[in-house]
Amino acid sequence: MKKLFTTALAAVMLLGGTLVSASDYPNKTVEVITHAGAGGGTDVTARMMMLRARRVLGEDMVVVNKRGGGGSVAMDYYLEQPADGYSILTFTIGHAAELAKNKTKMTLDDVRPIARGTDDPQILMVRCGVYDSAQSFVNAQKDKPLTYGTTHLGNIDDVSAFMFTKRGNLATPKIVPFDGGGELATQLVAGAVDVGVLNLAEAGAQIEAGDVCPIVVLADERMSAISDVSTAKELGIPVSFSTVRGFVVHKDVPDDVAKKIEDSLIKAMKHGVYQGFLTSVGLDSTSVAGSEVWGNQLQTMVTDMKDALTELGFIQ
């Protein structure tokens, strides 16, 4: 009897007073913690994933919004949750920046990767008709700075702008921050800025109307939705930044539970519902990736953000 009890106990882990094993996980609501308000890109990505994931897991899932600090509030909150798999943290390039700047109690070693949901390249956009090519856009900045609109300071948007001009030996841009991508796209059309650092979905309406044109994609390869737009690397400027959104859990979540969460989320995001969402924002199935690919990208983007922020003087 004692041996039987020991064997059974070895199959589960006592964490925060809760017995956790993949065989009975989940048996209550799973929380998905985000740093974005309702309707934001990260919030929408999480909710689209959950549409099918709750069916795959057989339990309800709810979004918990913890706004503030560029993601640091959500990360600090997540550290206080039990490592039982019933809370999942959305993780983005913004979180990587906060980690790089030591603005949170969390470190990358505190979490384990689960799955990536989107890999959305940063795009430099201009008013249609101003430049006849990507090269003319670059040439215009060799001696005179352009005004770049961003939705962050000390984060991916202005880092993208600064690194593009710095590595292209161009004039240092003037940065004008806006509250969101929608406002930035509108102000780009109005002429308040020369360039908008945006994702494809953020300026979808303006692009469709012919008011805004993507001019350079900051990615390793061209995007299928705008395959005629050059990458920065094609122009000889080695810059690649993406707005990535994915999911992580506590490092101490048992392996079998973490694997069940990963398999469930991947299955959900390969479903036609989520794939349709990706298509609607100009992305494709390559956005979805498992823990190995996502984990390698997490390490790389935290390192890259730290290097870029240090080079630009945001980290002393």
Identify the band that residue 315 occupies on the pLDDT scale cut at 50, 70 and 90: confident
10 and 95 in a single domain? The answer is yes
Query: Does the residue 316 lie in any domain?
Result: no
Domain's final residue, options 235, 254, 270: 235
Residues in the chain: 316
Q: Total domain count for the chain?
A: 2
224 and 149 belong to one structural domain: yes
Q: Are residues 82 and 180 in the same domain?
A: no
User: For residue range 216-227, what is the model confidence (pLDDT) as tens digits?
Assistant: 999 988 998 899
Co-location of 113 and 252 in the same domain: yes
Q: Which domain holds residue 218?
A: 121-235
Q: What is the pLDDT of residues 236-282, one digit of tens each?
A: 999 988 889 999 999 999 999 999 999 999 999 999 999 999 998 88
Same domain, residue pair 247 and 113? yes
Which residue among 192, 211, 235 closes a domain? 235
Answer yes or no: do 202 and 139 share one domain: yes
The answer to whether residues 55 and 137 belong to one domain is no
CATH of the domain at 224: 3.40.190.10
- Quick one: pLDDT at residue 5? 41
pLDDT averaged over every residue in the chain: 90
Contact 229, 216 (CB under 8 A): yes
Q: Same structural domain for residues 127 and 228? A: yes
**101 lies in the same domain as 247:** yes
1 exposed, middle or buried (CB, 10 Å; 0-12, 13-18, 19+)? exposed
Could you read off the pLDDT of 275-305 as tens digits, one per residue?
Answer: 999 998 889 999 999 999 999 999 988 888 8
Contacts of 105 (CB under 8 A, 6+ apart): 75, 76, 79
Last residue of a domain, one of 215, 235, 255: 235
**278 and 200 share a domain?**
no
